[in-house]
């Protein structure tokens, strides 16, 4: 019996279970599709009376994995340990994820085996960071609970709660690759400690974008950061995250040929707090302003470095502007969907590691509201239960079902309208979709706030054919991957982001809280999808593909993010974007039996 009494072992076991499920879900190296299913394990196996997968094509020997039937996102989930490997009855019991990954790496050509080894390191780091996060949550929850007193404090509060709750699908999202324990405490949203931004002065000829911050933003003058005020005539100030400042900045400046033209300001300025995204920070003295700055860590995969591509600065603003016009034109959405203002952003001569996006929240529209990222709904609350239950008590008279229904209708109304009427699909994941709870005319009101939409998929020809006036907003996109020429990428984006992450993942947590089987909530989701599709069809929209991929097909698309972002090179996957590499193997939880 393995010892599971200490926090580290519990964390290792939790991460290992998530990784095993992800390997099966994404069919890594054909571990499901090319395996043989057996009712029992090898004769010497013990501890699992049930089905086993025998995987015989991963180098020498056979890998025996105990599994259990599943329905959410995959047919088979891991049934835990022991996992056996060997041949001819000589079985070796594997009881750690590193050993399993070593078998998966067997026979991989080129540098592929090293990717599995690096992922084993990522698993270890995820377990370490989980131990630290659990300890910090325990410390925080032991304090007397405090109710945030304004919308900005509310957003920080629920961001922090969300930061303790693991990503629904990516197994090692807990790991912030590049942060050690001290960095995590200083800059992670789990600890939410204040720190000050550092500043570089760069020649104006190198600074490109939408100009300087607007006068309302509390941006520093040169004297504030300890530099000669006369530099303002020739230079511009660029914020730098202190982790980058103390780490890789000098090497990156040297490599970019900027070491002699960039001037390091001697004083830090602007105290900030980290948000759920880590690289986006809140200005403490003006919390309606958030600043997104490059950060040289990786999350959600070894290839997902958290810098800022210059293209995202203009593209994010273009998409937000498009959304603002659409929402204003749609009576069912006007007043129910809010947007951040992201028009101000700058990059330094096209460098991913020097730049920023200044994001302004609509503070007047948020007065008196609870502002909650979708990522927080299923997170544990300090008072016990889930955040969604706490919000239901506060805003819906304790009726969690009513809260879920309001959220479901608003989410489907927005995203199905965008897709089927305008040819737009948003990567508005659980972090970038923010719920706004308040009251209007004495009744509970739920609105949706969208931010950071620089990775949408837009059927530009479709949009131009329907609304040429809107197409001008996205006529000059910098990232060619945003514009698509058929409807399938829209369906894939809606399925993997809106349906699976923003609706189905909460369903899996809210159903037990409602003392219902998930299937009961999925029937509600199907009914509401059908109703919205019927409404759009009555308005003349073509809903055929949406009905097929969402309601009729046996399988749903799913992201193979672990493969694309960590375990395989682009030459193997062919993915132009590691965040949009899809399989078509998830059981369709909306399909009627």
Please give the domain boundaries of the chain with CATH numbers for all domains. Answer: 1-105 (no CATH), 175-361 (no CATH), 382-587 (1.10.510.40)
Longest CA pairwise span in the chain (Å):
81
**Residue of 55, 3, 267, 274 whose CA lies nearest to 156:** 274
Distances (CA, A) of 481 to 311, 360, 471, 484: 11, 26, 16, 7
DSSP conformation letters of 355-382: EEEEEE--GGGGTT-EEEEGGGTTSBPT
Rounded distance between C-alpha atoms, residue 193 and residue 179, angstroms: 15
pLDDT on residue 44: 65
| Residue whose pair of structure tokens reads 């990786």 in the numeric block | 298
The residue behind tokens 């972090």 is 431
Q: What is the rounded end-to-end Cα distance, in angstroms, of the chain?
A: 41
**β-pair type (457-459, 483-484):** parallel
What pTM value is reported for the model?
0.96
Distances from the Cα of 166 to the Cαs of 130, 279, 418, 432, in angstroms? 9, 18, 29, 16
CA distances from 462 to 332, 468, 542 (A): 22, 9, 12
Report whether 70 contacts 20 (CB < 8 A): no
Alpha-carbon dihedral sign for residues 319, 351, 570, 70: negative
Q: Give the span between the Cα atoms of 400 and 387, in whole angstroms.
A: 11
User: Residues 17, 20, 26, CA angle at the centre, nearest 5°?
Assistant: 135
3-state secondary structure 489-524: HHHHHHHHHHHHHHHHHHHHHHHHHCCCCHHHHHHH
User: Can you tell me the distance from the alpha carbon of 154 to that of 321, in angstroms, rounded to the nearest whole number?
Assistant: 26
CB 497 within 8 A of CB 427: yes
Rg (CA), the chain: 25
Short-list 22, 175, 160, CA closest to 561: 22
* Residue with the two structure tokens 């760069």: 202
Spatial contact of 51 and 58, defined as CB atoms under 8 Å apart: no
For 540-575, write each residue's pLDDT tens digit: 999 999 999 999 999 999 999 999 999 998 778 888
Contact 48, 68 (CB under 8 A): no
Q: In angstroms, rounded to a whole number, what is the distance separating the alpha carbons of residues 248 and 261?
A: 17
List residues bridging with 113 in a β-sheet: none
Output the six-digit token pair for 113.
């085996």
Parts of the chain with a pLDDT under 70: 1-5, 44-45
d(CA 162, CA 431): 9
- Spatial distance between the Cα atoms of 302 and 569, rounded to a whole number of angstroms: 11
At residue 400, the pLDDT reads 98
pLDDT of 145 reads 80
Is residue 257 exposed (0-12), middle (13-18) or buried (19+ Cβ within 10 Å)?
A: exposed
Question: pLDDT tens digits for 116-158?
Answer: 999 999 999 999 999 999 999 999 999 988 889 899 999 999 9
CB 155 within 8 A of CB 102: no
Q: To 5 degrees, how large is the angle CA 324–CA 328–CA 331?
A: 140
């Amino acid at each position: 019996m393995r010892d599971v009494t200490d926090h580290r072992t519990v964390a290792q076991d939790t991460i290992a279970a998530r990784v095993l499920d992800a390997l099966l879900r994404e069919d890594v190296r054909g571990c499901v599709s090319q395996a043989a299913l057996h009712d029992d394990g090898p004769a010497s196996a013990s501890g699992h009376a049930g089905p086993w997968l025998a995987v015989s094509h991963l180098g020498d020997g056979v890998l025996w994995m105990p599994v259990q039937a599943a329905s959410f996102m995959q047919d088979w989930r891991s049934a835990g340990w022991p996992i056996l490997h060997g041949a001819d009855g000589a079985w070796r019991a594997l009881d750690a994820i590193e050993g399993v990954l070593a078998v998966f790496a067997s026979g991989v050509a080129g540098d592929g085996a090293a990717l599995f080894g690096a992922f084993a390191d990522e698993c270890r780091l995820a377990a370490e960071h989980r131990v630290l996060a659990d300890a910090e949550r325990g410390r925080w929850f032991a304090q007397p609970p405090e109710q945030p007193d304004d919308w900005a404090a509310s957003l920080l509060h629920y961001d922090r709660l969300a930061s303790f709750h693991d990503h629904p699908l990516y197994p090692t999202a807990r790991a912030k690759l590049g942060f050690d324990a001290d960095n995590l405490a200083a800059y992670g949203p789990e600890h939410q400690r204040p720190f000050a931004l550092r500043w570089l002065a760069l020649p104006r000829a190198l600074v490109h974008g939408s100009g300087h911050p607007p006068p309302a933003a509390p941006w520093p003058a040169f004297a504030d950061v300890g530099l000669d005020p006369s530099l303002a005539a020739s230079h511009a100030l660029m914020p730098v995250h202190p982790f980058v400042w103390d780490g890789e900045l000098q090497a990156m400046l040297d490599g970019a040929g900027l070491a002699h033209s960039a001037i390091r300001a001697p004083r830090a300025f602007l105290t900030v707090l980290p948000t759920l995204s880590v690289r986006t920070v809140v200005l403490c003295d003006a919390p309606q302003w958030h600043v997104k700055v490059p950060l040289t860590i990786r999350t959600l995969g070894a290839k997902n470095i958290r810098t800022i591509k210059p293209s995202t600065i203009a593209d994010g603003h273009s998409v937000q502007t498009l959304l603002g016009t659409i929402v204003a034109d749609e009576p069912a959405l006007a007043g129910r969907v809010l947007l951040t203002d992201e028009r101000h952003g700058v990059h330094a001569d096209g460098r991913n590691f020097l730049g920023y996006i200044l994001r302004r929240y609509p503070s007047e529209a948020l007065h008196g509201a609870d502002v909650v990222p979708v990522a927080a709904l299923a997170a544990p609350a300090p008072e016990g239960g889930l955040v969604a239950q706490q919000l239901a008590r506060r805003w819906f008279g304790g009726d969690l079902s009513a809260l879920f229904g309001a959220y479901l209708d608003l989410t489907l109304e927005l995203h199905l309208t965008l897709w089927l009427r305008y040819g737009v699909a948003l990567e508005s994941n659980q972090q970038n979709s923010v719920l706004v709870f308040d009251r209007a005319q004495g009744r509970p009101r739920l609105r949706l706030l969208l931010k950071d939409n620089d990775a949408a998929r837009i059927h530009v020809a479709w949009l131009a054919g329907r609304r040429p006036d809107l197409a001008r907003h996205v006529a000059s996109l910098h990232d060619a991957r945003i514009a698509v020429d058929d409807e399938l990428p829209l369906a894939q984006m809606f399925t993997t982001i809106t349906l699976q992450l923003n609706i189905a993942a909460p369903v899996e947590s809210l159903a037990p809280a409602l003392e219902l089987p998930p299937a009961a909530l999925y029937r509600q989701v199907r009914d509401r999808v059908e109703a919205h599709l019927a409404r759009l069809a009555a308005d003349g929209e073509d809903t055929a593909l949406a009905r097929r991929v969402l309601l009729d097909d046996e399988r749903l698309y799913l992201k193979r993010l672990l493969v694309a972002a960590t375990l395989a090179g682009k030459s193997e996957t062919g993915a132009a974007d590691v965040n949009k590499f899809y399989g078509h193997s998830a059981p369709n939880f909306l399909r009627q039996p």
